Structure 1
Amino acid sequence: MSVFPFMVFLLFLLVVSSESKYNAELPSRITALNGSCVQMPCRFNVSENNLTNTERLLGFWIKKNHSLQSLESLVVFNGSSNITNGFSHIEILGNLSQRQCTTVFYDIMNNHSDNYYFRLETKPSDWKYTYSDNPINISVSDVPQPLIFKPTDLKEVMENTTVNLSCSAEAPCPKQPPTISWSNIPESANITTQLQEKPDKTQSVFSHMTFKASYMDHRKNISCTATYPRKTSNDSTVENTMMLRVLFPPKETRITIDPSASVSVGTNVTLTCKSKANPSKNMNYTWYKRGQENQLDFGEQLTFTVNRMSGGWYFCKAKNEHGFQISEEIHLIVAGSASLESLSLIIGCVVGVSAFLLIFLLITLFLREQRLKASTIKKTDISDQEKQVQISSIYTNGAFVSGEELEMPKDENDIVHYGEINFSTPQTKSTTVKSSGQETIYAEVRGPEKEMNQD
């Protein structure tokens, strides 16, 4: 065996081993939407010597085959001249000096599906390297990727517990990301949406919804819809739906009555207890009547033939494993007869009205008596005042008599003389009485005598 071929083989291994340390970080596969764009996250490694001993770094993208044969025909983007081949526009977003080669292909069409390789060249050192071990496969589709709904197997949730739902849509073109919308949103829902980076550096739109489960949300179909803008006649949409199942005790419990709430004696009546609950199987129903301690019956329906004692207020209690609820009362009226309850109500009303009238009458009599007493006292006071006025008048008429002269005689020496007034004849006579030291003059007045009627 000659030495020369062996040396060539060693040199080849050395070259291969020296170049095998270079690689690019690219997702192995990415799905693009026809009429949109696709962004390929890209990062490469290269020796520090190649970066420091160069003035320019140039990026290239090669389609289908990394071989240097017919290179020009396979290059879709030439970094030295910024020439794009087969695409409307290609843009390298990454900073090559920082080993970033993220690139956007715009206006992706179906014929762009293929493998693509990144190539780096330096100037003026003229170092070139194609990262052939790390191709990226671009697959172009007319429909968006399916949404990811989490949790995918949402089981039944208990009422009033917090529920977390998430919906994510692939964003192959972060410059034109999809918009996410929700339908049949619970009233207490809080929604946040943002663009997130995945482990392979591709991006997706992530929407998170939090709400408190209500019995009104039971069996509600909650939908998440992603809408993708693109350069076609219509935007593309993709949707995912899940049914929410909520566990809750009886709600909206009520009673229906057949045939009506007012019936005659001998009629067959059916009362039905209706309620919303989950689970609704094996529900327990209990019937009651106001005024009776014991339950009437069990079951969803209560059927009986009406008699004169059937009238009254009925209610039911619905129960499942999570709780119970009592319905509002319903009044059954038996036509043509008054139930004991109705009779008691009438008697109570009559007694109440009678008691009110009696109290009103007593108050009226009391007030009247008080007014009479007040009137009597007032009249008495007026009479006393009139007497005082008369006495005062008498004293006033005798104003010519001094206070000393009105006093009663204090001893036997004080002699009182009286005069006589006779109204029988119209004559006037003066009488003079003398006493020791005093002279008193009296006048006697006589009126005309009446003639006696003769028989």
Structure 2
Amino acid sequence: MFKMQIISSCTILSMLIFNILSAGISSRSSVIQGHGKEDWSITFNPPEITAVPGLCALISCTFTYPEAAKPIDNVQWIECKNGQCKTDIFKGKVSTQQLEEKETETERIKMLESDLTKNNCSTIMKDIKAEDENKYAFRVEGQKPHKITYKPTVKIIIQDEPKMDIPPLREGVEANLTCSAPFPCPETPPEITWWIKTRGEHITNLEDDITLITRNLYISTLLLTPTSKMHNATVGCDVSYGDKTISASRTLEVMYVQTLQILGDGTVMEGDTLRLNCTVESHPPSSDPVWRFNGTADKIRNYTSAENLMITNVRKEHAGIYVCEMTYMRETLNASITINVIRKEAIQMQVDIGMIIGFLCGISVSAVIFSVVLCCHESWQSRDKMHEVMATDTDTEVILEVFYDQQGHQIVYY
């Protein structure tokens, strides 16, 4: 808020100073002399004012009149349509050099300087409407018969959205985008916000780099480095005048080109079909591709259709280097692929050898596994096996039970 007050005060001061300085510069002003007397003149700076509906418009002007017309009795602002200036929208009665405003429009229209001896006719029109887009004339009535409706007139233009200027964009090359909005009212300086919405519907706010204030415009400049993802994105600027906001947006066109590619399998079996596709993403679109085989286009001319190349019943002589070439913005793009053609007999021999090697490897692995399992089984049996020994004499039958512990020591039970 404090920043806005400073801008407002500085703007009003600069406009008033400019009005005073402009009064003596007739070569750059819109001036007319009335009734052939050089003392009647008016200067509007600027002669056209852009206003936003619902806000106000500042008419900045100075005027002169002859000594014989003093003191001024009445002043008026008159609306002009179709070349006719008839309708009073403001009328002021001058009493002791002070302006006494009259009529209902004075609630909406007010002169900044009530002392007309200062030759300042600057006026603010509030609550601008679409129908206010017209030309307006200033009228002075002095001592009879000295009175005049000044010409030229001032024009009010209604603008309900900002104006955007976007230069041609190219990927990786910085560009300045501008958004200009009317600055009609010193009391409500605008604030501009930039934003961009990419193809993924992601909205990002952007910071502007330079902001300039002219007599009647507020200009914001955005330094943008375009990328291919910004192509067809939407960029916009919102201009806020307190509670009032106007907006504008544009679709970006970014010139870009990505790497040219050839899609397809580099190995083809004899008798099968070779399919290659040449593709590149760019804006604007690249030219149609030109295919070459081993340096010439004649041998495969009948096999190409746009970006596609297709050869049925491939033979050994179709093996080699295939090149695709396109033109983008006077730049030549190309890519190549080497095609190998394999005979079916060689494929079958490779399959047979592979099967034999696989079979032998399988047998070898199985034998090793079987041997390991057998050894483990014998070891387990030797550790846990229980022996029974029968010992018999003439008097006693003795049963011996023999066991082995984990270390292999023999334990005998009777």
Normalising TM by the smaller chain, what interval? Answer: 0.3 to 0.5
Q: Which has the larger radius of gyration?
A: 1
Query: Please, what TM-score do these two structures have when normalized by structure 1?
Result: 0.44
Query: Please, what TM-score do these two structures have when normalized by structure 2?
Result: 0.48
